[in-house]
A and B are shown apart, each in its own frame.
Chain A
Amino acid sequence: MELRMDFVTENTTRKMNTFQKCNFVISKLKNDRVVIFEGGLNPEEEAILIEETMSQIDHESFLGYKIMNPVPIRNSGIFNRHKDVKMTIIAPQNYENLSVALV
């Protein structure tokens, strides 16, 4: 299966409310794309994403998703100040090799 990833910057998601963010993710998943969110989703957003997903599963082409929150990456910043960059990776349910792709 071809791997297609969309990297979504924090700058883009900052303008979205939770429901916009969730529907943005679901529309990407329905197009067989893996979404990488800079900044990640918080637990409440994850819960709403589950609810929205469950209401949109069609039992044919869209069956839900897999999600991973890898350990935040520590970036060096200006004047050696460190910033932890959190990311959330969300893949279509039928994508079997999510963890392999991330290694």
Chain B
Amino acid sequence: MGILARIFARSRRSQLTIGILGAPNAGKTTLANRISSECGNGTPLGEVSPVPHETREVVALEHCTVSDQNGSLDLTVVDTPGIATSVDYREFLNHGLTKQESINRAKEATRGVIKAIQSLDKLDAAIVVVDAARAPFDQINWTVLGNLEARKIPLIVAANKTDLPDADPTLVQETFQSEIIPISAKEGTGMNELYGSILTVANM
């Protein structure tokens, strides 16, 4: 083991609370459930659905374990509702909900967005999930990244949905001008690289 590796091995924190953040339908809950199944007790953190704002509460799963040759990291994974600048109940009508169901869901969604933003203050680190199959220019991504940087919270950008034919992780990388981890939370690809990044973040 090199000198630096030994220093990092000693200084790495043993516990980390990491939030999963991003726009609605980026695949945050799919990723949280994937981490739970691979590193935790397998309990799903939430339902996955094509309807936006399926996750409307902040949900945490404790005691997920990520390890490398330097030891183990006890991870608390925090799945958050999608952050948005607007919530239009009519969007839910297109997914077969009645008007009243749609309005109720929209009300819960607005509260969920507030909870997601308030959760930023409780995180040690964050994974910002970006849908690589959609143009990544949504201002929400910049707002989330800017707020994490302002709070000095280390972050990882995960370009999700690489299993889809339209996915373009290179565009995500070019847009954010930073290192990104291409993943498919659905298929499980890229997860080892993501766990490696989480361990690196734990050294910060």
Is the pair A55, B110 in contact by a Cβ cutoff of 8 Å? yes
**In whole angstroms, how far apart are the Cα atoms of A42 and B89 in the complex?**
28
Is the pair B114, A54 in contact by a Cβ cutoff of 8 Å? yes
Is the pair A43, B117 in contact by a Cβ cutoff of 8 Å? no
A2 within 8 A of B: no
Is the pair A65, B85 in contact by a Cβ cutoff of 8 Å? yes
Is the pair B85, A43 in contact by a Cβ cutoff of 8 Å? no
Q: Which residue of A lies closest to B112 (CB)?
A: A54
Residues of A within 8 A of B (CB-CB), count: 21
A23–chain B nearest beta-carbon distance, Å? 16
* Given A43-B150, A57-B110, A59-B107, CB of A65 within 8 Å of CB of B86: yes
Is the pair A55, B114 in contact by a Cβ cutoff of 8 Å? yes
> What is the total of A-B residue contacts with beta carbons within 8 Å?
69
A73 within 8 A of B: no
**In whole angstroms, how far apart are the Cα atoms of A53 and B111 in the complex?**
11
Is the pair B86, A59 in contact by a Cβ cutoff of 8 Å? no
Interface string of A24-66 (1 = CB under 8 A from B): 0000000000000000001110110111011101010001111
Is the pair B106, A50 in contact by a Cβ cutoff of 8 Å? no
A-B contact sample (7 more), CB < 8 A, given A43-B150, A69-B139: A43-B149, A46-B143, A46-B147, A51-B114, A54-B87, A57-B110, A67-B85
**Which residues from chain A sit less than 8 Å from chain B, CB to CB?**
42-44, 46-47, 49-51, 53-55, 57, 59, 63-69, 93
**Which residues from chain B sit less than 8 Å from chain A, CB to CB?**
83-89, 103, 106-107, 110-111, 113-114, 117-118, 120, 139, 142-143, 145-147, 149-150
